[in-house]
Amino acid sequence: MTVQIAPSILSADFAALGAAIAAAERGGADLIHVDVMDGHFVPNITIGPPVVKSIKRVATVPLDVHLMIEEPDRYIDDFASAGASMISVHVEVLPHLHRTVHAIKALGVRAGVVLNPSTPIVMLEEIAGDVDYVLVMSVNPGFGGQTFIPRSVSKVRAVRDLLDRAGNRSAPVEIDGGIDIQNVARVVAAGASIIVAGSAVFHSADAERATRELKAAATAAASLPAR
Ligand code: DX5
Ligand code: ZN
């Protein structure tokens, strides 16, 4: 299993995003995770398509856009045009999730679905064969720097099993929230292969080094046989 590291710029200095992204990329970032929040689905407000477009100009790795917004269908085109390579949407806000997933794919963008910590995996049962990846939230979305919810480890394992049973072995499980050098091996061992990390990277003294160390720990865990 190949593991990808996706530093979340939510915890970076927004006045110096270009430098933050460059440091993460030097450390081996495989993706840049972009958190979009609307003040409705989650309490916080962050950024929209114009900022994604600017980031796209400087990033050399694909942009992984996580939409924590109430009406994602209204904005998918804009984020795709702005340069998103991956767009994930929360199952909690979408009564027509199948339509949304296929609308994202029709734009040539990888489509991910996200589960909040309290959302059961059964919500994915009918869509597991259609998605390009599943994002398991290991904190309640809205803010960086929160504490990892331990139950997320078994949830990652169960989502991995569901995707495998649906014949969607190539679809990775992404994990987001409270990941650091202490717990990354555990989530990788459970089957997570896209690792988001915000404060562990950008609140460290050296984002390049933090990215490199996280990737090394994740890669080492991925090479172990059992999970
Ligand atoms: C939380 C966001 C995360 C956040 C992770 O709502 O979706 O991507 O940036 O930050 P850390 O790694 O600090 O929990
Ligand atoms: Zn996120």
Active-site pick, 30, 35, 64, 132: 35
Ligand 1 proximity of 43 Cβ (cutoff 6 Å): no
* Tens of pLDDT, residue by residue, the chain (227 residues): 899 999 999 999 999 999 999 999 999 999 999 999 999 999 999 999 999 999 999 999 999 999 999 999 999 999 999 999 999 999 999 999 999 999 999 999 999 999 999 999 999 999 999 999 999 999 999 999 999 999 999 999 999 999 999 999 999 999 999 999 999 999 999 999 999 999 999 999 999 999 999 999 999 999 987 55
How distant, in Å, are the alpha carbons of 99, 101, 114, 126, 171 from that of 166?
A: 18, 16, 17, 9, 10
Ligand closest to 112 (CA) is 2
Q: Residue 133, by phi and psi: left (phi above 0), alpha (psi -120 to 50) or beta?
A: beta
> 3-state SS string over 116-129?
CCCCCHHHHCCCCC
Spatial strand order in the sheet of 110-115 = 4-7, 192-197, 173-176, 133-137, 110-115, 84-90, 63-68, 32-37
CA of 226 from ligand 2 middle (Å) equals 28
Q: What is the pTM of this model?
A: 0.98
